[in-house]
Structure formats: C-alpha cells, structure tokens
Structure 1
Amino acid sequence: MSDNEWKRRCQNEWNITGISMPDSVDWKFVYEAKPLGRNLLKNPAPHGVTHDSPPPEPELTGVPRDEPPRSEPEGDYTGWTTSVEDLPYDTSGIPPGVVVCYMPQFSWFTLEQKIDLKAEGLWDELLDDQPDILIQDRYEESQLHESIYQLHVKLLGGDGQTVISEHTVSPTEDLSTYSHTWKEVSHVFSGYGKGVRFVHFLHRLKNKYMVEFFPTLVTGSSVIVKPT
C-alpha cells in the first residue's frame, strides 16, 4: 500500500479536516500507532485494580512485622518512574515524658511518565493545531490523612523541558465520614499554544506505616489526544 493510501486511511478513519497532513510523515506508522482517542499512558493501573469495583479493603493482622517500614505499595510499575519521600514524624501533640510505642510514618509515593507525542504517532501540524488533551485519574479515598493525593501534568516543548502549559490538583479530604470510594480527577488542556511535543504526567500518593502498611491506590490514569 502506498503512503498516500495510508494517509487517506488516517484522514478517513479520524475524520481529519483543516489540518495539514504533509507527505513527509510516515502515515503507515501513524495509522498503526492509532494515536488519536487512545490512552497514551503505559500501564494505567499499576496496582492491579480497576475503578469498576470498589477499592479493596486492607487485610490487616495487627501483628508487628520484623522488617523495616514499607513506603511503597505492591504493584507492577512497568512504564513508570517511581520515587519515595519519607515524611518526618509529627511529635507536636505528644506531652513531654510520654513514651510512645508506635507512631505513624507517612510517605509520598510518586509515579511519573513523560510521553513523547511524536513517538506515539502524532505529527507537528496536528499538535500545533492544539488538539484537546484529556487528563483523567482516579485515586482511592483512603482517608489516611487530609492530603493523600497530588497531580501535576505539564505540556512540554520539543526540548522536553520548556513548560507550555500545566495543571495541578491537590485536594483536601473530608475525614469526618468514611466512604472509601474512587475519586475522579480530570482536566482538558485546550488553546494552550503551539509547540507541545511531550506530556509529563506525575501523581503522588500518601501512604502510612504503623505496625502495618496502609497504602493509597490509584487506577485508570489516562492521557488522550482528541482533535477539535
């Protein structure tokens, strides 16, 4: 099949109008990559859970384990870059002279990905037409703390460093009721300007260790490009 035929396939399948489709683009690669309308994040559910079911209740034994405190939940983090930030103990409410056997140790667990939009099959002219970029995420309402989730998404230029647009979410949880559901976070980037070639997706989850490990889980993360 000729490159012009691959280009016509792309044009017809995605109903592309008013956007330049130059012959210099490898249209067979674009067609097979199918970059429009699909999730460009790799491994969007690293904890092996889905938002179609309620978050799993932790199976706790109440027995201290003879091992160092954990700070990272179990999961398959293929495709993600991860890091852990242990937070200092909060001793502000402990009176002088009081002996404390166990205190909660909180930590932030960060997962991030940088998406190369051209490597995923998008081309310069389409990206400079500023298609909508849809962001979606779901985190577990673990209620371990009033702040258990943060999201920071950046649209980057061709050097992979210059920030063209960004969106940050840092919600505060209501600890007065226990619902233990998935909370959805979403955002649509539009009209952000020309030059976007990468998307940097980062979210942070707060975990707690006290005798046992208490995680905050995440699932259904997505980055989707849709031409307007």
Structure 2
Amino acid sequence: MSAAEWKKRCQDEWTLAGLASPDGLDWKSLYEAKPFGRNLLKNPSPYGLGKDKPPPEPELPEVPPHGPPTFQPDADFSGWSTSTEDLPFDTSGIPEGVVVCALPQSSWFSLEQTVDLKAEGLWEELLDDFQPQIVIQDWYEESQLHESIYQLHVKLLGADKSTVIAEHRVDPTEDLSVYSHTWKEVSHVFSGYGAGVRHVHFLHRLKNQSLMSSFSYTRFTGTSVTVKPVKTGS
C-alpha cells in the first residue's frame, strides 16, 4: 500500500477524515502501533490474575512465617512506581484499661504510571481538536480489610506534566456486612476535556494490613488506559 492508501485506511477506520495531521506522518507505522483501543499502561495485572475468575481466597500457612514483617505484596510491579503509607493504629474499639499486645498495622499501597500520549502515536491536532475519548478501567479485590480499601485518582496533564487539565477521583465505601470476595469494577470516560492534554497520570491506592508475622492485602487486575477514536471536542 502507498502512503496515501495507509492514510486513507487510518482515516476511514478511525473516522478521522478532515482532521489536520503533521506533515510526514508515517500512517503505516501508526496503524501498526494501534494507538486506539490498546492498553497504554504497562503491566496491568502484576498478580497474574484475571477478572474473569474470582480472586483466590487467602491461604493460611500451617506454621506462622518467621522473619521480618512484610509491608508490600509479593508480585512483579515492573512498570509501576510504588510507595507505602503507614496509617495510625485504630484504637477506637478498645475499652479503657485493656492491655493490647499487638494491633494490626494498616497502610496504603500506592501504584502510579504516567502515559505519554504523543509517544504512543497520538498527535497534537488529534488531542486538541478531535479530543478522543480517554477511557479508564480498573478492577480491585473485595478484600474486606476495611470499609475503605481502594482509591483512584487519574489526571490529564499538559506537556509540562504538572498542569492538570481534567481529573477524576474515586473513593468507594465497602459494605462489610456482605462477603462476596469478587472483583469490583471502576471506570471513567474523559471527553470534551479541552486542548493541551499530552499525558495521563494514573494512580490507585489499595489497603494492606499486617499483624506481627501475618500480612493481608488488596489486589487489582485488568487496569487500563485506552484511547478511542470518538470525537468529543468542539
């Protein structure tokens, strides 16, 4: 196929006819890169689990593990920047005068990535004028560790990576009276967000809990940031 034929194929399949594009844009390479519909996040399922099967039940070892306490889940988090924030001990339910030997230590385990939209094949005129849908999806485990076990904060950023053009937050409350231990979906569609978007910053936080040598955590799977060729700009 000629360069003109590749351009027409892209414009027809992605309904981009009439949209300005940079001179010399390699439409063949762009088509093969699949900037639309492809998950732009790296390592979306570090635990090797899929949302189509329920998360596995926690395994209780016959012999308590020895060694230093664990503060981070054992998984491959390559592609993610991770951090842990210890939370204050909850002593609200302890009667006065009661001696406590140990309390569970809760913490937020944060994972974040920044997607460079231009590096993924999108261009300025497309992002500024066409403003395609930017779709966020995530699945977190109903771990029953606390009534707050998951938080999400996604920002659409400018070229400087600090200017916030649009953002979306999620902080659900769990119903601890019902135990189903399933994956819970969180999703959002950014549209009509205005000009200047060049990066997507994705951050979610999941609750962990440790007590002496035991460690429990909240897992996630199927995290995605995708761009769809749906015009939402003016």
Instruction: Tell me, yes or no, whether TM beats 0.5.
Output: yes
The aligned residue for residue 110 of structure 2 is: 110
> Counterpart amino acid of 2:132?
P
Of the three residues 204, 212, 215, the one matched with 1:213 is 215
The aligned residue for residue 10 of structure 1 is: 10
TM-score for both structures, normalised by structure 1? 0.93
Distance in 2 between residues matched to 1:172 and 1:227, nearest whole Å: 33
SS at match of 1:142: coil
Unaligned runs of 5+ in 2: none
Distance in 1 between residues matched to 2:172 and 2:76, nearest whole Å: 26
TM-score for both structures, normalised by structure 2? 0.91
Contact 2:15 2:229 in 1 (8 A): no
The aligned residue for residue 176 of structure 1 is: 177
> Counterpart amino acid of 2:226?
I
Q: How does 1:14-29 map to 2 (within 5 A)?
A: 14-29=14-29
Unaligned runs of 5+ in 1: none
Contact 2:106 2:210 in 1 (8 A): yes
1:65-101, Cα deviation, whole Å (9 max, x unpaired): 3323212112111111111111121223323442223
Q: How does 1:53-132 map to 2 (within 5 A)?
A: 53-61=53-61, 63-128=63-128, 129-132=130-133
Contact 1:71 1:86 in 2 (8 A): no
TM-fit CA distance, 1:145: 0.1
The size of the alignment, in residue pairs, is 228
TM-fit CA distance, 1:32: 2.5
TM-fit CA distance, 1:16: 2.2
1:150-207, Cα deviation, whole Å (9 max, x unpaired): 0000000111110000000000000011010100001110111011000000000001
> Counterpart amino acid of 2:44?
P
1:35-80, Cα deviation, whole Å (9 max, x unpaired): 0111111111111110010011010126543323212112111111
Distance in 2 between residues matched to 1:165 and 1:24, nearest whole Å: 31
> Counterpart amino acid of 1:215?
Y
TM-fit CA distance, 1:132: 0.8
Contact 2:209 2:216 in 1 (8 A): yes
Quote the RMSD (CA, aligned, Å). 1.7
SS at match of 1:165: strand
SS at match of 2:73: coil
Deviates more, 1:77-86 or 1:9-18: 9-18
Distance in 1 between residues matched to 2:60 and 2:201, nearest whole Å: 36
1:97-130, Cα deviation, whole Å (9 max, x unpaired): 4222331111100010000000001111111121
- Amino-acid identity (%): 70
The aligned residue for residue 51 of structure 1 is: 51
Distance in 2 between residues matched to 1:71 and 1:6, nearest whole Å: 51
> Counterpart amino acid of 1:109?
F
The aligned residue for residue 222 of structure 1 is: 224
Distance in 1 between residues matched to 2:58 and 2:227, nearest whole Å: 36
